[in-house]
Amino acid sequence: MQRALIIGRFQPFHIGHLRLIEFAARDVDSIIIGIGSSQESNTKKNPFSAAERRRMIENSLSGIKFEIFDIPDISNNELWVSHVRKIVPEFDSVYTNAKLERRLFREAGCKVRETPFFNRGNYSGTEIRGRILAGEHWKSLVPEGTLKVMEETKGEERIRKLG
């Protein structure tokens, strides 16, 4: 059984993340999703708690086998991969388009798959949080599952207050 690892902050979980997971799921049997900066919530850059982000993901994925793990930050690049490995089950590959993450996992001997960006101009956490602050439309950029959690948690209002 092949397992791929994907790590993100998912603030919020958007359609770019969904496409990335669907892209990886074509190659492997199961996806291990790591919620990065899991200790963070209620800040401008990290408005949602790990539990809220987990619900966004669980409500948005269907037909894909996955497991979710919380990964708190450690501010040490050298220890990052061993930190992640202590938390998640064994994986065969890492899917990422982040340069630093790619280098750290490669240096640790992991197989790294580069992925494309899907409509990065719009499908971006920073873009979505920025649009909410600016009062611009954003709802089409997230899956229904995220929208539901954003409504339950008054996510829009929270982002505006924090911003």
**Of the two residues 1 and 116, which places its CB atom closer to ligand ATP in the complex?**
116
Residue 20 binds ligand ATP, judged by CB under 6 A? yes
Shortest CB 20 distance to ligand ATP, Å:
4
- Residues pairing with 46 in the sheet: none
Per-residue interface string for the shown chain with ligand ATP, residues 110-129, x marking contact by CB under 6 A: -----x-xxxx--xxxx---
Question: How far is Cα 139 from Cα 35, in angstroms, rounded to an integer?
Answer: 22
Minimum CB–partner distance for residue 117 and ligand ATP (Å): 4
Own/partner long-range contacts of 119-124 (Cβ < 8 Å, ≥24 apart): 119/15, 119/16, 120/16, 123/14, 123/15, 123/16, 123/17, 123/19, 124/14, 124/16
Site string for ligand ATP, 71-110 (x = CB under 6 A): -------------------------xxx------------
Q: Is 60 in the site for ligand ATP (CB under 6 A)?
A: no
Alpha-carbon separation of residue 61 from 7, 53, 82, 111 (angstroms): 15, 13, 28, 24
Q: Is 2 in the site for ligand ATP (CB under 6 A)?
A: no
The residue ranges that bind ligand ATP (CB under 6 A) are 8-11, 16-17, 19-20, 96-98, 115, 117-120, 123-126
